[in-house]
Amino acid sequence: MRTVFYISDGTGITSETLGRSLLTQFDTTNFQEVRIPFLDSAEKAAAARLQIDAATQTDGGRALVFNTVVDPKVSSVLAASEGLVIDLFGQFLPVLESELQSKSVQAVGKAHGIGNKKSYDARISATNYALSHDDGVSTNYQDSDVILVGVSRSGKTPTCLYLALHYGVRAANFPLTEDELNGGSAPQALMRYRHKLFGLTITPSRLHSIREKRRPGSRYASSRRCSQEVAEAEMLFKSRRIPFADTTDSSIEEIASRILVALDLEKHFF
Amino acid sequence: MRTVFYISDGTGITSETLGRSLLTQFDTTNFQEVRIPFLDSAEKAAAARLQIDAATQTDGGRALVFNTVVDPKVSSVLAASEGLVIDLFGQFLPVLESELQSKSVQAVGKAHGIGNKKSYDARISATNYALSHDDGVSTNYQDSDVILVGVSRSGKTPTCLYLALHYGVRAANFPLTEDELNGGSAPQALMRYRHKLFGLTITPSRLHSIREKRRPGSRYASSRRCSQEVAEAEMLFKSRRIPFADTTDSSIEEIASRILVALDLEKHFF
């Protein structure tokens, strides 16, 4: 067992993202995670150091410390611990400073702070948009960046929320119900915005198991109906040339990333 | 102007997080961002290399390349470009391999793939929970991890969705309306779960400007009413000893991080 510390002067998201990306490359999952966000003073660092040293003693192996504290004075307290300290800023800032011929500002908590107010407000506004355009509630799609279509429980809502919260993408979604699918055609309201459509599909067996949890034993959850809906939805995507992706073995993050690429929806941070 | 490439064999989220965390430490924002996710072959890398070299020529300065491709063969194609390549895995995996005395698996797209199925399903299920327990719709809070309380438009919904989507935290929220605040007491339904409560507040002027956008000129949006509601909500938080945070100058990520710490809601990844 190893204890893993994610230490940051801000939210700890960068530190956690960095650490997990590296650790998922190892077969073991015998890690005990500790997050220490908002560590912004030498005193707090000294307290963290005690924790790191204690964990190292208890585990009988050096604690792994992913450190995204900007202030070198605070950071040096951690570096003096018994843990293996992986220091993002210490490692890479000097290279960038020399390349950009500019000193870094060493400001605390920048990465996931409110940052660019305009792009931040766009994320909040997109989240409200996703909620008011969820599940076909409103079909006024003029302002949407993307409209996800798919059968019930194919993953439309979480994907829309993720696109909105992270990228400020105005994502609506529209459920393909039995009625629509029987007709073999998407509603006119949708086809006006064909260039904004993206389909989600899922294997019938996975859909069956998700629906069973919601409405056990219902016709809605039956294997037969799941197979039929999925087949018809995929047929619709192909006949209308709507790009689509399978959510069965893909995470929300992966689907969102594919949608950004497919619809060329790059929103920029700087 | 510098072109910045975020290159990954998966979603590109780690690469983007890494790059932006570093670049926010510089005063300039004169960066043009290009994301290249799902880069998983030497051919795709060769195409990216051409883009990197072209940008370097056009900009008159080396492109900045944040690279989280795992396969060293693919990665080496990028390393041979004219850009300044910051290579996360190349830099840190060897240190971890030697510390853990174990070879890394070099598996593609692990960081934001579906990963641990159980914790992934928990995130989706928490998102559904957040939606069905938004804005006081359902007050059955037995299964909730946290219940956010605050006046209308103080940031409860996006924070709940973020906590759910990212951390698999079952986050509900309950709006403090004028009626509740006038009584000076929170509803009984809430106080049963006092240990799960977390308050959100906001400055009256910011609240006024948010509400004005929704219902211009309304009593709901008036400065007077905003001031009154905020004062009463904060009084309630203090008298009932409900921990709270101000969302005015904090991002969703920062508020979420504070909530995880305050309520000791660490969910673990491994």
Domain residue extents for chain A: 2-100, 117-262
Residue for token pair 């673990």: B268
Query: What is the reported pLDDT for A127?
Result: 96
For residues A91 and A69, give the distance between their C-alpha atoms in angstroms, rounded to a whole number.
Answer: 12
For residues A166 and A183, give the distance between their C-alpha atoms in angstroms, rounded to a whole number.
Answer: 36
Query: What is the reported pLDDT for B268?
Result: 66
User: Mean pLDDT, to the nearest integer, of A157-175?
Assistant: 95
Residues of chain A found within 8 Å of residue B269, distances taken between Cβ atoms:
20, 33
For residues A120 and A168, give the distance between their C-alpha atoms in angstroms, rounded to a whole number.
Answer: 8
Which residue among A18, A31, A128 sits closest to B270, beta carbon to beta carbon? A31
Torsion of CA B236, B223, A128, A17, to 10 degrees: -60
User: Is residue A156 pLDDT above 90, yes or no?
Assistant: yes
DSSP state of A104: -
Q: Where are the alpha helices (DSSP H) in chain A?
A: 13-23, 42-59, 72-79, 88-100, 117-132, 156-167, 178-183, 188-191, 204-214, 223-239, 252-262
B235 touches chain A (CB under 8 A): no
User: Mean pLDDT, to the nearest integer, of B163-171?
Assistant: 95
Least reliable range by pLDDT among A111-120, A182-191, A239-248, B45-54: A182-191
User: Mean pLDDT, to the nearest integer, of A214-239?
Assistant: 95
Nearest CA in chain B to A249: B114
User: Is residue A268 pLDDT above 70, yes or no?
Assistant: no
Residues of chain B found within 8 Å of residue A14, distances taken between Cβ atoms:
17-18, 21
CB B260 within 8 A of CB B169: yes
User: Mean pLDDT, to the nearest integer, of A136-151?
Assistant: 93
Q: Please, is B57 exposed, middle or buried when counting C-beta atoms within 10 Å of its C-beta (0-12, 13-18, 19+)?
A: exposed
What are B156's two structure tokens?
Answer: 């409860």
The maximal CA–CA distance of chain B, rounded, in angstroms, is 69
Query: What is the reported pLDDT for B185?
Result: 59
Crossing angle for the helix pair A156-167 and B117-132, nearest 10 degrees?
A: 90
A172 touches chain B (CB under 8 A): no
CB A240 within 8 A of CB A191: yes
* Interface touch B270/A33, C-beta < 8 Å: yes
Q: Which H or E element spans position B197?
A: strand B197-201
What are A178's two structure tokens?
Answer: 């039995």
- The residue ranking higher by pLDDT, B161 or B188, is B161
Q: Please, is B140 exposed, middle or buried when counting C-beta atoms within 10 Å of its C-beta (0-12, 13-18, 19+)?
A: exposed
* Interface touch B25/A252, C-beta < 8 Å: no
* Interface touch B21/A161, C-beta < 8 Å: no
User: Is residue A184 pLDDT above 80, yes or no?
Assistant: no
Query: What is the reported pLDDT for B184?
Result: 54
Q: Which H or E element spans position B208?
A: helix B204-214
- The residue ranking higher by pLDDT, A115 or B40, is B40
For residues B214 and B153, give the distance between their C-alpha atoms in angstroms, rounded to a whole number.
Answer: 10
User: Is residue B92 pLDDT above 80, yes or no?
Assistant: yes
User: Is residue B141 pLDDT above 90, yes or no?
Assistant: yes
User: Is residue A161 pLDDT above 60, yes or no?
Assistant: yes
User: Mean pLDDT, to the nearest integer, of B133-141?
Assistant: 91
B206 touches chain A (CB under 8 A): no
pTM of the model: 0.89
Annotate B229-251 with b (16+ C-beta within 10 A) or e (fewer).
Answer: bbebbbebbeeeebebbbbeebb
Least reliable range by pLDDT among B11-15, B27-31, B127-131, B253-257: B27-31
CB A74 within 8 A of CB A39: yes
> Which residue, A9, A16, A12, A15, is CA-closest to A77?
A9
The mean pLDDT value of chain B amounts to: 92
For residues B107 and B142, give the distance between their C-alpha atoms in angstroms, rounded to a whole number.
Answer: 40
> Which residue, A41, A33, A31, A1, is CA-closest to A15?
A33
Give the torsion sign (CA, B258, B127, A13, A123).
negative
Query: What is the reported pLDDT for B186?
Result: 62
* Interface touch B10/A157, C-beta < 8 Å: no
Q: Which residues fall within 8 angstroms of residue A241, CB to CB, at 6 or more apart?
A: none
For residues B207 and B223, give the distance between their C-alpha atoms in angstroms, rounded to a whole number.
Answer: 8
CB B147 within 8 A of CB B173: yes
CATH number of A117-262: 3.40.50
DSSP state of A168: -
Confidence of residue B230 (pLDDT cuts 50, 70, 90): very high
Enumerate helices (H) and strands (E) in chain A, giving the number of each.
11, 8
3-class SS letters over B74-129: HHHHHHCCCCEEEEHHHHHHHHHHHHHCCCCCCCCCCCCCCCCHHHHHHHHHHHHH
Q: Which residues fall within 8 angstroms of residue A63, CB to CB, at 6 or more apart?
A: A2, A3, A4, A5, A52, A55, A56, A81, A82, A83, A84
For residues A88 and A17, give the distance between their C-alpha atoms in angstroms, rounded to a whole number.
Answer: 12
A148 touches chain B (CB under 8 A): no
- The residue ranking higher by pLDDT, A234 or A184, is A234
A35 touches chain B (CB under 8 A): yes
ipTM, 2 dp: 0.88
Query: What is the reported pLDDT for B269?
Result: 67
Give the torsion sign (CA, B146, B147, B153, B154).
negative
